[in-house]
Amino acid sequence: MSETPASIPRSIPLRNDLVGEVPYGAPQLDVPVCLNVNENPYPPVPEVIDSIVERVRAAASGLNRYPDREHMELRAQLAHYLGKESEAELAAEQVWAANGSNEIMLQLFQAFGGPGRTALGFAPTYSMYPEYARDTFTEWKTVKRNADFTLDTRKALDAIRAIKPAIVLITSPNNPTGTPLDQEQAQEILDECRTVSVAGADPTAHPIVVIDEAYIEFRNPGVASLAPLIAHNDHLAVSRTLSKAFAYAGARVGYVAASTAIIDSLRIVRMPYHLSAITQAAAMAALDHADLQLAQVSHLRETRNETAQWLERQTYKGEPLKVAESQSNFLLFGGVFDDREAIFQGLLDRGILIRVVGPQGWLRVCMGTDDEMTAFRTGLSEVLREVESR
């Protein structure tokens, strides 16, 4: 166990299992080019900003009252958006929002995890999941992904049968790899879950499948969202966010689509009035102009595809860089770095912040503006040349 942070003396009765833990978070460094936390590099469009001002002004005069606990107007707007964007037919009652998809995921763990329960994920994957598990006393287990970061269906089904998890959690596109899950594979997993019981639950209970689609809007044409599968799978929850494609990371709005049974379970564990009237107003402002707001997505998709091709042409100690196939706004690249920290530091010395994450030998870069990507390419070329000449 690591040392307890110096600011928390033993005289403060921190939960035993939290002793030695540190707060999660990527470094927030003040550097010119930040490509480390998968944000959208473009600000919200002016129409959205105007709409925020109007809607928040209207909400402001009612701030003496608690907000609509059920946030029905926002849920209806989100259901409409999912119908258009993902061809998922959903009633407002099948959608639920919270302060970022982080909070959605925590609510899912609070409702379905807990002592004696297990959540199953597929590594490498998003590093927050073990924290939701820890905070809800849920056991966190992972199955390793294939070398190309796709899911091995047979291994996944075996693990589900053996572990009997309450939650099967799949990120699509996956973070940090960008790998999507296709509908057939998802349906196979969903079908298996119907036949499996849940350790620590009623004998008739089956695992729920949670798909984290935080980055789904960045997918190429032809790659499907899994949200339409909800219509035939009442044990499927698809979590989304406005943080990424909608350029709304600072607004903290995430949401989930699922059967009403799953949504009603989340309503049990949510804090009363968890979504402020101001957050609800801001979320609706983004959705008022969803088409405009998403206009930058296709450009970022092109940036990703071009950057992937460029990276594949670069070499490290004579070996070409690998790039994981990504349907997201970031790329996992390298695969051959025997000292990835040195590459990361070389870029940071040039004012470019990326992320040391994923399996050894790999690094992750998020797509930035055209200027930021030019800086990244120039910086990485220099760093790779430096390594070459050592």
Q: What is the smallest separation between the CB atom of 171 and ligand PLP, expressed in angstroms?
A: 5
- Asked if 239 and 211 touch (Cβ cutoff 8 Å), the reply is yes
Asked if 179 touches ligand PLP (CB under 6 A), the answer is: no
Judged by CB under 6 A, does residue 131 bind ligand PLP?
A: no
Question: Which residue in the shown chain puts its C-beta closest to ligand PLP?
Answer: 100
Least distance CB 126 / ligand PLP (angstroms): 4
CB of 353 to ligand PLP, least distance (A): 15
**Contact pattern from residue 75 through residue 114 relative to ligand PLP, giving x for each residue in contact according to CB under 6 A and a dash for the rest:** -------------------------xxx------------
Q: 338-363: b or e for each residue (b if 16 or more CB lie within 10 Å)?
A: eebeebbebbbebebbbbbbbbeebb
Q: Which residue has the tokens 């949200």?
A: 227
Helix (H, G, I), strand (E, B) or coil at 257: strand
218 binds ligand PLP (CB under 6 A): no
CB nearer ligand PLP, residue 144 or residue 317: 144
Q: For residue 273, which phi and psi values (nearest 5 degrees)?
A: 55, 45
Instruction: Name the residue nearer to ligand PLP (CB basis): 210 or 352.
Output: 210
For ligand PLP, the closer of residues 102 and 303 by Cβ is 102
For ligand PLP, the closer of residues 198 and 216 by Cβ is 216
Is residue 38 at the binding interface for ligand PLP, with CB under 6 A as the rule? Answer: yes
Compute and round to an integer the Cα radius of gyration of the chain: 21
Out of 96, 112, 126, 132, the only residue in the binding site for ligand PLP (CB under 6 A) is: 126
* 198, amino acid identity: V
- Residue 264: how many CB atoms within 10 A of its CB? 13
Query: Counting contacts by CB under 6 A, is residue 241 touching ligand PLP?
Result: yes
Q: How far is CA 169 from CA 133, 140, 178, in A?
A: 11, 10, 15
- State which of positions 242-281 bind ligand PLP (CB under 6 A): 243, 249, 254
Q: Does 175 bind ligand PLP (CB under 6 A)?
A: yes
Q: What are phi and psi of 363, to 5 degrees?
A: -135, 160
- Give residues 299-358 in contact with ligand PLP (rule: CB under 6 A): none
CA neighbours closer than 13 Å in the CB half-sphere of residue 289: 20
